[in-house]
Chains A and B, each alone.
Chain A
Amino acid sequence: MSDIFIAVGALVVLSLIFGAVLGFAAIRFKVEGNPLVEQIDALLPQTQCGQCSYPGCSPYAEAIANGEEGINKCPPGGESTIQAIADLLGVEPEPLDAEHGTEKESAMVAVIREDECIGCTKCIQACPVDAILGAAKQMHTVIESECTGCDLCLDPCPVDCIDMLPINGGLPAWHWDKPGQIIATDATNNANEGKAA
């Protein structure tokens, strides 16, 4: 009979000790993390394009944090952003919601065809990051380094003189690609697939 008491007593003592250790760790090693909204916002591309149907990245981040919105509504961020948010929230990554747009292959920048610009300032008002420079009846121009490529200036332009061009960084932006995966494998894979198809 006394064995049982000893066992129970030992377990109680153990649980108390471990409880104390855990309690201490919870306080001592408390992670002073950012609030979730800020963490999600930091992962979003900050194009402020509104393609997610929210007026900017941070409202969307808030909506995600509140569980009101899926994580797959950000076309500029694309798969990598979805993956990052999924990692952060510990949820399954979903494919990009095509309703909100598709991921572009390379970063874009808006360029005004300056001889066609009539100086209506409508694009200036539409730009979420104030990256368009100009005055009424003066030609406008885009500050390329600040443009997020959000497309928001395209619709308001009455003469359609804004183009979205892929950014070409030239030599300074060039870097080596990842080497092809095990070459033999890929070659054979493709060959096999080719045969299958």
Chain B
Amino acid sequence: MKLLNISSPHTTRALSTSNVMLNVLLALIPGIIALTYFFGPGHIIQIVIASSVAIACEALVMKARKRPILFYLKDYSALLTAVLLALSLPPYAPYWVTIVATGFAIIVGKHLYGGLGQNPFNPAMVGFALVLVSFPVPMTTSWSAPSELLATGISFSDALGFIFSSREGLDAITSATPLDAYKHQVALSTAQEIYQNPLFKGADQSSIVLAWQWVSAGFLLGGAYLLWKRIFTWHIPLSLLATLVLCSLIFGWDADSYVPTSLHLLAGATILGAFFIATDPVSASTTPLGKLIYGAGIGIFIYIIRTWGSYPDAVAFAVLLMNFAAPFIDQYTQPRTYGHAKPKRGLAAKD
């Protein structure tokens, strides 16, 4: 029998990249359930569309690059990108928006930079940002109101119809997202008045953006699971959330003129972003201190863009902006190596 001759170590932990990706997908399930429960089956359909497009694109690129297709599909990274993108998109966005976003995310955002592990930007957010700036109308008018506010729920066939063919009747169920609504109304009215708005006043009169809170809770649960599984560390989510809260406490203490903290945290893509998007390891900072700075940066940008920008939500842009900075942050936040008095900073002085 031929004896193997390879470098140590000879034993490895049974946790592969595909395991990591599957774990993340698994952790998204509570959030998806909540989204579907409150906003109808839109997201499920979007996930299906995005996943098929992503897998097709991935296979296409791998074919073009003469790589083993199955080997790369099995790492599930394309699938994860697709699902994250689908969850970020409005549930009833027309199908072509999803296709364009996913195709752009996989082909341009991921593979033109060299494929998995080489992309400087979060591919899902690249796709999202593209459709957000290119097709603002469908992107801002495709969120449905929480099901409690609707007379009847949205059936699966309705959802298919909204997405693939006629957009008639969509107006009846769409509404602005609470963040957007609050931001636009706060200039004219007080917090008290805003909360009288049906969007903020749930069916049982006591719940405020209840649907969004449940969705956030779902994603929070998934995030906790991933932390427990040590798929990622606490640094980025915690620093992101803490910074966002801090910012909103400093600037937004007055609910009559700014969006309150609770809405910032729970009524938007904040939790999804903090646990699932900002933690994308490829495009994030990787040093312990770097992760804290990276998360804090995203938190600050989210607050700035939400408060003074014109877009309904800000996670995508905040993440992309910090993606730019990640390599630089990594260079300047190297940990102190064992036996060294001081950590090194920056790249080696050349010449």
Contacts and interface: CB of A to CB of B under 8 A. Distances in A.
Whether chain A touches chain B in the assembled complex (some CB pair under 8 Å): yes
Interface of A: 33, 39, 88, 176, 179, 184-185, 188-189, 192
Per DSSP, chain B at the interface is: loop
B351 A39 contact: yes
Contacts of A39: 351
B67 interface: yes
B67 A188 contact: yes
Given A184-B68, A185-B68, A189-B66, A176 B351 contact: no
13 contacts: A33-B351, A39-B351, A176-B7, A179-B7, A184-B67, A184-B68, A185-B67, A185-B68, A188-B66, A188-B67, A188-B68, A189-B66, A192-B66
Q: Closest 3 interchain pairs by CB?
A: A188-B68, A184-B71, A184-B68
A88 B350 CA distance: 10
B351 to A, nearest CB: 7
Contacts, number: 15
A179 B66 CA distance: 21
Interface residues of B, number: 6
Of listed A33, A88, A176, A185, residue having the most chain B CB within 10 A: A185
Nearest to B70: A184
A33 B351 CA distance: 8
Given A179-B7, A185-B68, A188-B68, 12 more contacts: A33-B351, A39-B351, A88-B351, A176-B7, A184-B67, A184-B68, A184-B71, A185-B67, A188-B66, A188-B67, A189-B66, A192-B66
A189 B65 CA distance: 9
Interface in B310-351: 351
A192 B65 CA distance: 11
Nearest to B65: A185
A185 B71 CA distance: 9
Nearest to A34: B351
Interface string B1-41: 00000010000000000000000000000000000000000
Nearest to A196: B66
Contacts of A192: 66
Nearest to B66: A192
